[in-house]
């Protein structure tokens, strides 16, 4: 199935890339789209990786705190019975 590019600026970009690379316009467009798709997948993988790292840090941090500090009033862990910071 073919496509018809109607925007002149898009046609000019495809012509210029094809001229510089020595590719046909079809090949230039195909390579450009493949490269963009690869970058989008890499970007998504970067987000997933960061979220996994944040989750791992949160789980590790939760294990280091006493059970009483994981929910409820945290001031019990921060102050002694007389209200002095510990």
Reported as a single tens digit per residue, the pLDDT across 36-70 is 998 888 776 677 778 888 999 998 888 877 776 66
Number of structural domains the chain divides into: 1
Domain span at residue 51 reads 8-65
Q: pTM score > 0.75 for this model?
A: no
Pinpoint the alpha helices (H) of the chain. 8-21, 25-64, 75-78
Assess if residue 84 is contained within a domain. no
End-to-end CA distance of the chain: 72
pLDDT tens for residues 41-50?
877 667 777 8
Identify any residues that bridge with 85 across adjacent strands, giving them in sequence order: 79
In a domain, 85, yes or no: no
Q: Is residue 72 part of a domain?
A: no
- Is 27 a domain residue? yes
């Amino acid at each position: 199935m073919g496509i018809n590019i109607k925007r002149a600026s898009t046609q000019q970009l495809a012509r210029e890339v094809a001229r510089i690379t020595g590719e046909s316009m079809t090949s230039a467009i195909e390579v450009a789209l493949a490269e963009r798709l690869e970058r989008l997948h890499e970007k998504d993988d970067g987000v997933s990786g960061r979220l996994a790292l944040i989750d791992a840090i949160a789980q590790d941090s939760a294990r280091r705190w006493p059970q009483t500090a994981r929910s409820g009033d945290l001031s019990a862990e921060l102050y002694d019975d007389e209200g002095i910071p510990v």
